Structure 1
Amino acid sequence: MLNASEAAMDAAAEDDAERQRNRAKLYAPPPSERGRGRRRRRPPGMGMDRAQAQSLAAQLAAEDARLGARG
């Protein structure tokens, strides 16, 4: 679908500069996504604060030590 749009816009363009502007417009992100930068947003509930991360790291270290003691 984009190929057909791009071809139609190229045919209507008068010069290369206009073709380039048309392509930039055609492939630009939607207005709702502009200004957010290139970072992907996490789904709600997937974030972790510093205390939670430290707690998880401590749990991992304890489990690692427990499993290492068996060997």
Structure 2
Amino acid sequence: MARLMAVAETVMLQSAETEKESQKMRAALYAPPKGMTRAELRRKRPPGMALTSMQAEALAAQLAAEDAQLMKGRSG
């Protein structure tokens, strides 16, 4: 996907007739969505990424159990 985006960017920038136009296109391409500052984008989590304390505890317990199982296999 990253390669496809790089190719698309290159093609788009090649259509610019001047360096100034190229810089303008690049700035528009990498600008944050309208209405959001860069700081807001950094703070915002993707949907579904927040865990409740119960979910975090369950995940920690699951990881501890998997870790114990892996360590048991190494020592045997």
- TM-score, normalising length: structure 2: 0.44
Larger radius of gyration: 1
Q: Greater RCO between the two (CA within 8 Å, min separation 6)?
A: 1
Relative to its length, the structure with more helix (as a share) is 2
